[in-house]
Structure 1
Amino acid sequence: MRQIWKSFRALYFASLMMLIGSGLLSTYLALRLAADQVDGLWVGALMAANYVGLALGGKIGHRLIGRVGHIRAYATCAGIVGAAVLGHGLINYLPAWIFLRMIVGLGMMCQYMVIESWLNEQASPKQRGLVFSGYMIASYMGLVLGQLILVIHPQLGLELLMLVAMCFTLCLVPVAMTRSIHPAPMRPAPLEPLFFMRRVPQSLTTVLSAGLIIGSFYGLAPLYAAQQGLSTEHVGLFMACCIGAGLLVQGPLGKLSDRYDRAWLIRGVAGLLVLAALPLAIFPNVPMEVLFAVGFVASLLQFSLYPLAVAFSNDHVEGERRVSLTAMLLMTYGVGASIGPLVSGVLMKQFGSNMLYAFVCVTALVLVLRIRPKAVTNLHQVEDAPLHHIAMPDSMSSSPLVVALDPRVDEQVVQDQMQTATEPAAPPEHEPEVEGEAPERVVPSGEGVVRPVAVVDEAVSAEPQAARPDAAHDASRDVGVDRPL
């Protein structure tokens, strides 16, 4: 592990600086608006704009990298993000803040894509697991350290915005100092929404719910804590405690995920989240000790949903489709994370701050009702499933390219998939839709029983489409650099 950190320390440092700046900016803006007595709707709108920017950045980033190359695209976006951060200090007009927040999200997604493609290029197949873990740790540590800055500097002045801009400037240094030449441009992975909605609907439901919950948490938890009477220092500690829970839970979660059925785990985690968040949802005000304890436990559970859904979906999707799957999962997560802060912000404005955790409870309860482990037939389960659980980086700090670092995915398959923009695959005519009514016919469940195909979940298939012949070329130049940093 020491050799991994030494080899990739420049890219890990860039990721760390980016996430310190991003985590500090989110909490600072929420506390700044809370101090100015601005209602939660605007705070939620700011976080929603950030996720809209992240979603748009996935498309724009590919085009920008294709036009000017990885290094110039990264430098351009780092400069734009730094300028947008400082723009919050020059303008007090809230609609302008929403636009600037969207620009920050858009630029950061392009930066994620560059860093992840570089990590993928430099990591040998035997190193991928450790490289992936290092990237996850750097992501979570950056978010935690960003919150702890508020403990050291609780004043909500322009100095914090300058510090955020400084972080985005420093994250530019390791990439700008590289002597490597520009790699060939990337091509975006194809999206196949209809295929994945039929093949892995329960996973997509879980990811959407995780987006609703975690998007609301990042956007409105600082406001909630401030309205509970916590000082700026304690708000920073509360956010660091909750985000740190997301990192701590990944190890035990991986062991449970590899040992027990993942559909039952998702349902169980969602049920426990309802119970864990219920005290904060019922009581308008709670003691600080209770707030920290319950918030920590609720965060352990809410940050478990996304990685469980990713592992569950990968068990039922072929290797050549996993880059597209990751893009679909992140798009679904982004939709939820854009809607969640708006809805919970309206609820907090109308009914009080405890509506944040009431929203979490309701969303988790819906997930409990929607997940049907007995409907999973395992008809299209991949060989060696369940695949080894990999702790995913926080969904707010990764791009569709992060799947290339996943050691469960064959390297050449990933490269070929990232090179080939294929047409969406249409489902076979004889396959019924999962959610609609269809004639019953029985299929083997893989567990010794038979069930009607009308209730098959994670199991309706379509034949993998063939790559276009004209897209076959050397893929090794598309996802990295010719020489290490």
Structure 2
Amino acid sequence: MRQIWKSFRALYFASLMMLIGSGLLSTYLALRLAADHVDGLWVGALMAANYFGLVLGGKLGHRLIARVGHIRAYATCAGIVGAAVLGHGLVNWLPAWLVLRMIVGLGMMCQYMVIESWLNEQADAKQRGVVFSGYMIASYLGLVLGQLILVLHPALGLELLMLVALCFALCLVPVAMTRRIHPAPLRPAPMEPRFFIKRVPQSLSTVLGSGLIVGSFYGLAPLYASQQGLSTEQVGLFMGSCIFAGLLVQWPLGWLSDRFDRALLIRCFALFLAVMALPLALLPTVPLEVLFILGFLCSLMQFCLYPLAVAFSNDHVEGDRRVSLTAMLLVTYGVGASIGPLAAGVLMKLFGSQMLYAFFCFFALVLVWRIRPKAVTNLHQVDDAPLHHVAMPDSMSSSPLVAALDPRVDEQVVQDQMQVAPAEDAVPGEEPVAEVPTAQEAAVEELGETKPRE
């Protein structure tokens, strides 16, 4: 593990700084609008715009990387994201904030794609699981630390936006300073929506529900906590504890997932989520201690749904389609996360802040009704199912290329997916890009090192 940390610490640091900035920005914007008494609908719309940008970035990122390479694409997007963050402090017109928020999401998705493809390029097949876990820890830790900054600096001034921009500037340093030859450009995996809707309908329903719930949580939970009378420091602690619950639950969830029926687990966790969210949905105001305890327990349940759905779907899809499956799951999640904050924001505006957890409760019950273990036919179950559960990074901190790091995906499949982009993606008038050496070949040329390192 120490050797892996040494090899990948630069990329982990880049991920950490990105997620610190992203987590702080989401909560800051919600609290800033709450302080200005802006409707919760706008807060939800900002988060929806961010997820729309993430989905759009998943489509455009491949082309950008293919045209200018990994380092230039990453540097370009880091600069654009930093400028968009600072733009929130220069313009107070909310429609402009929607555009800026979408730009932030689009740029960050391209950054995720660069980091994940780079991690996969430099990770041996036997290391992929450990490298994957390190990436997940860096992602969750960054989100938690972003919330805790509000505890240390509760004033909602422009200096917080400067700090977010500073994080995106620092995340550029380890990638820009690398001496490595960047990985080959990537070809986007086909999503095949009709195939997956027919093959894994219950998994897609779970992912859509998870997107609706978790997307609403990131966008509107700070507003809910603020309307419950919490100070900025307390909102930061509340959000940090809830996100930390998502990290904490991953390992016991893996133990359960490998030993019990995954469809039944999804149904049980959705039911527990509905039960935990019910008091917060019914009570207009709750004591501080109750809010923290129930919020933490709800987060334990809600952050289980997406990883279970991914594991459940992988059990019923062949290895050569698992990269495409991950792209389909993340797009489905993004659609839910784009709709959820808008719908929950409308409910909060009309009926009060407790409607956020009523929204969670309703869609958790929909999943209880929709997920039926007895309806699973197992006609397409893979031979070695159930596959070993892999803790997944939060969906707002990963791209479709995260499948390349999943040890459940065969190494040859990864190599087939990560090919040079087809000729039609080339820029008109430019010469074709020469074939890029592998990381191993580049390492031999560099100071006598035998293994690629970052």
Please tell me the TM-score bracket, short chain as reference.
Answer: over 0.9
After TM superposition, the runs of 4+ consecutive aligned structure 1 residues lying more than 6 A away are 478-482
Q: Which residue of 1 aligns with 2:190?
A: 190
Question: What is the rounded CA distance, in whole Å, between the counterparts of 2:441 and 2:171 in structure 1?
Answer: 18
**For residues 442-482 of structure 1, what are the alpha-carbon distances to aligned partners after superposition, in whole Å with 9 as ceiling and x for unaligned?**
xxxxxxxxxxxxxxxxxxxxxxxxxxxxxxxx998599987
**For residues 108-152 of structure 1, what are the alpha-carbon distances to aligned partners after superposition, in whole Å with 9 as ceiling and x for unaligned?**
000000000010011111111110100000000000000000000
Question: What is the rounded CA distance, in whole Å, between the counterparts of 1:404 and 1:120 in structure 2?
Answer: 6
**Distance change in 2, residues 1:241/1:293 (3 Å):** same
Deviation at 1:183, TM superposition (A): 3.4
Q: Which residue of 1 aligns with 2:280?
A: 280
Deviation at 1:105, TM superposition (A): 0.2
Question: What is the rounded CA distance, in whole Å, between the counterparts of 1:250 and 1:89 in structure 2?
Answer: 37
Residue 181 of structure 2 corresponds to residue 212 of structure 1: no
Letter in 2 for 1:10: A
Q: Aligned ranges for residues 359-370 of structure 1 at < 5 Å?
A: 359-370=359-370
Q: Which residue of 2 aligns with 1:393?
A: 393
Letter in 2 for 1:417: Q
Q: Which residue of 2 aligns with 1:243?
A: 243
Letter in 1 for 2:453: P
CA contact (8 A) 2:181 2:437 kept: no
For normalisation by structure 2, the TM-score amounts to 0.93
Deviation at 1:408, TM superposition (A): 1.2
**For residues 298-336 of structure 1, what are the alpha-carbon distances to aligned partners after superposition, in whole Å with 9 as ceiling and x for unaligned?**
000000000000000000000000010000000000000
Q: Which residue of 2 aligns with 1:484?
A: 453
Q: Aligned ranges for residues 65-464 of structure 1 at < 5 Å?
A: 65-419=65-419
**Distance change in 2, residues 1:478/1:103 (3 Å):** farther
CA contact (8 A) 2:8 2:453 kept: no
**Distance change in 2, residues 1:92/1:325 (3 Å):** same
**For residues 379-404 of structure 1, what are the alpha-carbon distances to aligned partners after superposition, in whole Å with 9 as ceiling and x for unaligned?**
11111110000000000000000011
CA contact (8 A) 2:117 2:183 kept: no
CA contact (8 A) 2:136 2:391 kept: yes
**Distance change in 2, residues 1:478/1:98 (3 Å):** farther
**For residues 190-237 of structure 1, what are the alpha-carbon distances to aligned partners after superposition, in whole Å with 9 as ceiling and x for unaligned?**
110000000000000000000000000000000000000000000000
Letter in 1 for 2:301: L
CA contact (8 A) 1:128 1:407 kept: yes
Question: What is the rounded CA distance, in whole Å, between the counterparts of 1:46 and 1:391 in structure 2?
Answer: 28
For normalisation by structure 1, the TM-score amounts to 0.88
Q: Which runs of 5+ in 2 are unaligned?
A: 423-434, 444-451
**Distance change in 2, residues 1:86/1:121 (3 Å):** same
CA contact (8 A) 1:185 1:478 kept: no
Q: Which residue of 1 aligns with 2:36?
A: 36
**For residues 81-120 of structure 1, what are the alpha-carbon distances to aligned partners after superposition, in whole Å with 9 as ceiling and x for unaligned?**
0000000000000000000000000000000000000100
Q: Which residue of 1 aligns with 2:12?
A: 12
Question: What is the rounded CA distance, in whole Å, between the counterparts of 2:65 and 2:436 in structure 1?
Answer: 16
Deviation at 1:181, TM superposition (A): 2.7
Q: Which runs of 5+ in 1 are unaligned?
A: 423-473
CA contact (8 A) 1:186 1:479 kept: no
CA contact (8 A) 2:215 2:336 kept: yes
Question: What is the rounded CA distance, in whole Å, between the counterparts of 1:97 and 1:323 in structure 2?
Answer: 34
Letter in 1 for 2:369: L
Deviation at 1:179, TM superposition (A): 1.3
Q: Which residue of 2 aligns with 1:51?
A: 51
**For residues 385-438 of structure 1, what are the alpha-carbon distances to aligned partners after superposition, in whole Å with 9 as ceiling and x for unaligned?**
10000000000000000011111111111221343999xxxxxxxxxxxxxxxx
Identical counterparts, % of pairs: 82
Aligned with 2:258: secondary structure? helix
CA contact (8 A) 2:344 2:355 kept: yes
Aligned with 1:419: secondary structure? coil
Question: What is the rounded CA distance, in whole Å, between the counterparts of 1:218 and 1:128 in structure 2?
Answer: 29
Q: Normalized per residue, which structure has more helix?
A: 2
Letter in 1 for 2:172: L
CA contact (8 A) 2:58 2:110 kept: yes
CA-atom RMSD in angstroms: 1.8
Question: What is the rounded CA distance, in whole Å, between the counterparts of 1:240 and 1:307 in structure 2?
Answer: 20
Question: What is the rounded CA distance, in whole Å, between the counterparts of 2:63 and 2:228 in structure 1?
Answer: 45
Q: Which residue of 2 aligns with 1:462?
A: none
Q: Which residue of 1 aligns with 2:428?
A: none
Question: What is the rounded CA distance, in whole Å, between the counterparts of 2:373 and 2:436 in structure 1?
Answer: 38
Deviation at 1:6, TM superposition (A): 1.3
**Distance change in 2, residues 1:278/1:388 (3 Å):** same
Deviation at 1:359, TM superposition (A): 0.3
Deviation at 1:290, TM superposition (A): 0.2
Further displaced range: 179-188 or 391-400 = 179-188
Corresponding pairs, count: 435
